[in-house]
Structure 1
Amino acid sequence: MNALYCETAGAGSPVVLVHGWGTHGGIWEPARDTLAANHGLYIPDLPGHGRSRDVGAPSLDALTVSLEAIAPKRAVWIGWSLGGLAALGIALRAPQQVKALVLIAVTPCFVQTRDWLSAMPASTFEEFARGLHQDFRATLSRFLALQVGHGEAERAMLRNLRSSLFEHGDPSPAGLAGGLNILRDTDLRADLPTIDLPVLVVHGARDRIAPVAAAEAMAARLPQAELVLVPDAGHAPQLSHWPAVAPVLVRFLASHG
């Protein structure tokens, strides 16, 4: 297996920034510009995304192995959506390597089950999976649209996301499918109480992909969690509402980085 592409920036205590499904590390540009003044940043592209072209990760375990190989020791891990699941996986697999976690728009179980309704309906998820094989560009565009609200700032963010999505080439179908499989198959609810680390949970109050109730339930099960809800934000508060999210991250990193 080839190594993941990983951009580095800044200097200081290490922070790993892990993007979500269908995007690439470039989505962290606002955070990079702010955090690099005091932290050494490691920004990987997930398997099949961005510049990690020929890397496979068919499971969460395989993904965490790939990330662990490029990450520094004792870092703060910041993960968005699928990237947050990966960060949780690292904390479970190698807790000695993780100083703290920041989970942005993360749910421990992405798809609804009988006892977990605060998630994406299985039928909606399967529509995305089918669409991926029929027209992955249209499917990615639709998924991005679900992540934002209806304000002008979020519509502008959506335009920027769509324009930058393929700047490093098309994501590989295998990488996209692998990411969806991880979202479909992963359920970390029972593992959350064992993650005894400082955790900042940041969630958009209007998230249409991962409902607020999922973030509240996750934070309640994590022994050292702090939950911050971002008013009016959707599934990407670190992009649509960065001026509100930035001071929260800076404060958390000053305490735990």
Structure 2
Amino acid sequence: MTATVSFTIDSPLGPRTATVAYERKGAGEPLLLLHGIGHHLQAWHPVIDILAAEHDVIAIDLPGFGTSAPLPEGVPYDLATVAPALGRSALPSASSAHTSRATPSAGCSPSKSGRMNLVRSVTALSPAGFWTEAERRYAFAALLTMRAGARALPVPAVQRLSRNAAGRAALTGTIYARPSRRSPEAVVAETLALRHATGFENTLAAGGSVRFTDDVPGLPVTIAWGTRDRLLLRRQGVRAKHTVPGARLVRLPGCGHVPMSDDPALVSRVVLDTARSASPVTV
């Protein structure tokens, strides 16, 4: 069941109140799940029950996506703003957290989260920031094309397309390697989420400056890349390993950019293995 939480953000215009939607399930140490740009927390539904068997799982609709309200006027959609906001909003009763993210240019990077002591481990699924300028332009063009299509298609057309495998591939093949595994209802919902994502343009603009750095010593970091990622090509994973040499680089065979429904068991195992490698909580 989706709930909401409000929190205060420090902005150049003074304190502002923001609200995000989230789902919470399971028990144990907290595990925070962040979706990618244009998506919503339901992207994690294929794996959330598996993860919740070991963790208190918190899946968030980032500000301006899904059912979360946009950030207040004047508040930037950058990591310096969003990272501490997530710490205050999603983990009000948690002493520590693991963060897993599947995002091109949205959410918290390992470096930002680690520096702010918000997390104890990170699993980054095809993260942004390891691209060349040409690769960044290609990814942004692909995302903008998906956004334009989602906004242009009438809802009845989206519903018709979602009823067969070819239509689901046309709507979501950019981010899934196996779009036929998505249910018609899920494809309709995520297409509409992309259409109505009020934070899309601002988040995409902020994502142009995302660059990962290796400044999280001692923090377990796994960078996982789908071998059939059509948005952020898998060679960027090699650059990620060079940039963060202490990270574990994992290939996800047969998976696309958003791999949770392509191979739920594999993605769950990668996330849980990283979480288990974190130092125990001390009280």
Give the deviation of 1:240 after TM superposition: 0.7
Structure 2 residue aligned with 1:165: 190
Structure 2 residue aligned with 1:33: 49
C-alpha spacing 1:53/1:14, structure 2 compared with 1 (3 Å): same
Aligned partners of 2:236 and 2:185: how far apart in 1? Answer: 28
User: After superposition, what is the alpha-carbon deviation per residue over 1:227-248, rounded to whole angstroms, capped at 9, x for unaligned?
Assistant: 1101121112222111222223
Structure 2 residue aligned with 1:188: 211
Aligned partners of 2:263 and 2:144: how far apart in 1? Answer: 29
State percent identity of aligned pairs: 21
Amino acid at match of 1:125: F
State the secondary structure of the residue aligned to 1:237: coil
Which of the residues 177, 180, 202 maps onto 1:155?
180
Aligned partners of 2:146 and 2:122: how far apart in 1? Answer: 33
Q: Does the 8 A contact of 1:90 with 1:98 survive in 2? A: no
Instruction: Compute the TM-score of the two structures, normalised by the length of structure 2.
Output: 0.73
Mind listing any 5+ residue stretches in structure 1 that lack a counterpart?
none
Structure 2 residue aligned with 1:208: 230
Considering fraction of residues, name the structure with more helix. 1
State the secondary structure of the residue aligned to 1:86: coil
C-alpha spacing 1:128/1:226, structure 2 compared with 1 (3 Å): closer
**Matches for 1:45-194 after TM superposition, within 5 Å:** 45-56=61-72, 57-72=76-91, 73-82=95-104, 85-88=107-110, 90-94=112-116, 96-109=117-130, 112-113=132-133, 119-120=135-136, 122=137, 125-126=140-141, 128-129=143-144, 132=147, 136=151, 144-149=172-177, 153-157=178-182, 159=184, 161-165=186-190, 171-173=196-198, 175-183=199-207, 185-189=208-212, 192-194=213-215
- Asked if residue 230 in structure 1 is aligned to residue 252 in structure 2, the reply is yes
RMSD after superposition? 3.0
Instruction: Compute the TM-score of the two structures, normalised by the length of structure 1.
Output: 0.80
User: After superposition, what is the alpha-carbon deviation per residue over 1:52-81, rounded to whole angstroms, capped at 9, x for unaligned?
Assistant: 123354322222232122133421100002
Aligned partners of 1:200 and 1:127: how far apart in 2? Answer: 26
Structure 2 residue aligned with 1:6: 22
The alignment covers a number of residue pairs equal to: 242
Aligned partners of 1:92 and 1:10: how far apart in 2? Answer: 24
Mind listing any 5+ residue stretches in structure 2 that lack a counterpart?
1-16, 159-167
Give the deviation of 1:129 after TM superposition: 4.0
State the secondary structure of the residue aligned to 1:21: coil
Q: Does the 8 A contact of 1:4 with 1:55 survive in 2? A: no
Indicate the larger mover: 209-218 or 244-253: 244-253
Which of the residues 15, 19, 23 maps onto 2:31?
15
C-alpha spacing 1:52/1:247, structure 2 compared with 1 (3 Å): same
Q: Does the 8 A contact of 1:144 with 1:158 survive in 2? A: no
User: After superposition, what is the alpha-carbon deviation per residue over 1:191-220, rounded to whole angstroms, capped at 9, x for unaligned?
Assistant: x22122111111101111111111121122
